[in-house]
Structure 1
């Protein structure tokens, strides 16, 4: 009886470990690791979309129309206006 209970606990523990690591794997595929930020102001017409990332550094990643991704510092003045313009495009 004790070995059956131990086996049951072991199976539950292993299944929890597998499901929690699966979410980490999915998140890491979609997130870019930003080690440094661009210092150049990007023209907003070239920005297709954006996403937030907290891997390596807290940043916004702009996805460009030319299939390029650029890390920017969310504290930079022009970044918030670019995010607002891209959000407006999505609503229309």
Structure 2
């Protein structure tokens, strides 16, 4: 009987942790020092507030993701341009 109770408890713990456990997040380790041409960027997203480094991730036409500093003027221009397309 104890084995059955332990097994049920284990199943319960696994199902709860799968539901409420950590999710996959995109966090950046560093910002790129290079300027990315606006014409090469198709979309962007902001990293989670749980990330150590605040960043914007630019998605390019070449299907690359580039981490950039959201405080830079050229980054803000790209974000404004992309937002105006919506």
The TM-score, its normalising length taken from structure 1, stands at: 0.68
Q: Does 1:46 align with 2:43?
A: no
Residue number in structure 1 paired with 2:20: 20
Higher helix fraction (1 or 2): 1
**What's the RMSD between the two structures over aligned residues?**
2.6
Unaligned residue ranges in structure 2 (runs of 5+)? none
Residue number in structure 2 paired with 1:35: 29
Alignment length (residue pairs)? 82
- Cα deviation for residue 67 of structure 1 reads 1.1
What CA distance in whole angstroms lies between the structure 2 residues aligned with 1:47 and 1:79? 11
- Cα deviation for residue 12 of structure 1 reads 5.0
- Cα deviation for residue 14 of structure 1 reads 4.5
What CA distance in whole angstroms lies between the structure 1 residues aligned with 2:18 and 2:82? 37
The TM-score, its normalising length taken from structure 2, stands at: 0.72
> 1:62 pairs with 53, 58, 63, which one?
58
